[in-house]
Amino acid sequence: MPAHGPVHGGDNLAGLPRRLERWLRQQINHYSRLVPLQQQLLDRLGLSAREVERFAAARRRARAGERLLRSGATRQIRPKPAPRYET
């Protein structure tokens, strides 16, 4: 098994052993309910409150994309153009 360093919000947990991945995802999903000592343990693993929020944001983006695909949306969503300022 490869050695792992701290976990970061932009990382994918899929490379971890399945049981550890599932446990970490459970902790991330319920971070606000954890007691301070549990949160400190996750912080020592590299999962600070900030990293947990990064995971949550990535999860929200992925779910939004899945919902969009399920809705059958076929048109391309384009970002709004930047406002032009008169000089």
- pTM for the model stands at 0.55
Q: Which pLDDT score, from 0 to 100, does residue 3 have?
A: 53
CB of 40 closer than 8 Å to CB of 27: no
**pLDDT tens, residue order, the chain (87 aa):** 455 566 654 556 767 788 988 888 889 889 999 999 999 998 888 888 888 888 878 777 777 777 777 776 556 667 777 777 776
Which alpha helices (DSSP H) does the chain contain, by range?
18-29, 36-44, 49-70
What is the reported pLDDT for 34? 93
34-38 long-range CB contacts below 8 Å, 24 or more apart?
A: none
pLDDT at 18: 86
